[in-house]
Structure 1
Amino acid sequence: MTDIHPDQRVAVLADSQNLYHTAQSRFSRNIDYTQLLSRAVQDRQLIRAIAYVIRADSPEEESFFDALEDIGFETKIKDIKTFADGSKKADWDVGMSLDAVTLANHVDVVVLCTGDGDFSRLCSHLRHMGVRVEVMGFGSSTADELVDAADNFLDLSDREEVFLL
């Protein structure tokens, strides 16, 4: 990886739903958030690490949220919405984007942990603001436009033994 140095200030934004669903559907495993954060920061100065999570009232989620905080993530929690037709929706795209733009004036690097192509426009905007954008996601389920819009892409699938529990 190029353009990395210890003086860089880094913000790590983890789209936990996107990572969870991909890790479960492709590998039937969970993300190792300790390794994810360590690799995202890479001995640089961590300014903020935020994990965006959904509360769906499953039995283990509160201990998961606590574990994220123990690792060093601030958790932002949104309740899942159930509509009259029974469909459910919850995503953090707007919240993550607003946080990234707000943090851009305080960091040199934003690491987006997601495969969601909706963030490609955000990458372009951050780069235009002079912020380096690094993306960490599973290559097979990461949108090409997101990979193309980032300064660097790390495929978590290449290091399953590191990033999956």
Structure 2
Amino acid sequence: MNTIDDSLNKEGEGSPYRENSGERVVVILDVRNVTCRQSMEYSNTRMDYSKLLRDTTANRQCVVAIAVDGVTYDERGRDVFRIFHSELKGAGFRTVLVPASNNKGKQEGVDVKIALLAQKYALLNKCDIVELITGDGDFTVLVQDLQEEGVRVNVTSFSANLSYSLKDKADEVRILDDIPLVKMQQKSIEEGC
């Protein structure tokens, strides 16, 4: 697990966790927001999350990269998406799993967790920029609050998933389907979504 302190020690070629005297970046990936759009638009592809992280940090100092997702358990009490969550960890993301917040299994706490994490790093003065990988308009208020704290907020999203209000508030917007930000790979048929 990457923490604020140990993430800076993960230097290496191709790693976003390199020492750099430049801007300090916190990357937060809204997993379901991105993967649901990917499944709808690119059903037979697989996103390269390692490349996404490298391109998002763009040679700046990555304080931490966090992928926030809801967790669903199978009948044996195991995370249903454990293989995918392991893939995110291997790509350099710290995974934060939020349990379902109601009896229908809906993952309502994910957005709250993302907002709390972004605020935490900003208020502790651990970052200059928050890179949000989401298109969810619910984060418009978060963006405004972070900007009032002097933190720039960039958004990366699929165009069809990007809220107009989030697009208008963000300091910079990158569109996943318009630029070569990620390498899309074919999924194997047995893998599914």
What range describes the TM-score normalised by the shorter chain of this pair?
0.7 to 0.9
Give unpaired runs (5+ residues) of structure 1: none
Give unpaired runs (5+ residues) of structure 2: 1-19, 186-193
Higher helix share: 1
Q: 1:15 to 1:161 in 2, by over 3 A?
A: closer
Mapped to 2, the partners of 1:56 and 1:159 lie a distance apart of 33
Mapped to 2, the partners of 1:43 and 1:161 lie a distance apart of 14
1:82 positional shift: 6.0
Mapped to 2, the partners of 1:22 and 1:76 lie a distance apart of 20
Higher mean displacement: 97-106 or 28-37: 28-37
After superposition, the CA RMSD in angstroms is: 2.1
Q: Which residue of 2 aligns with 1:15?
A: 30
How high is the sequence identity, in percent, across the aligned residues? 32
Return the TM-score normalized by structure 2: 0.75
Q: 1:22 to 1:14 in 2, by over 3 A?
A: same
Return the TM-score normalized by structure 1: 0.87
- What amino acid sits opposite 1:68 in the alignment? L
Q: Which residue of 1 aligns with 2:126?
A: 106
Which structure 2 residues correspond to residues 4-153 of structure 1 after superposition, within 5 A? 7-28=22-43, 29-57=45-73, 61-80=81-100, 83=103, 87-91=104-108, 92-104=110-122, 105-153=125-173
Mapped to 2, the partners of 1:120 and 1:8 lie a distance apart of 23
Mapped to 2, the partners of 1:112 and 1:161 lie a distance apart of 14
Name the SS of the counterpart of 1:162 in structure 2.
coil
Q: 1:51 to 1:100 in 2, by over 3 A?
A: same
Of structures 1 and 2, the larger Rg is shown by 2
1:141 positional shift: 1.4
Aligned residues: 158
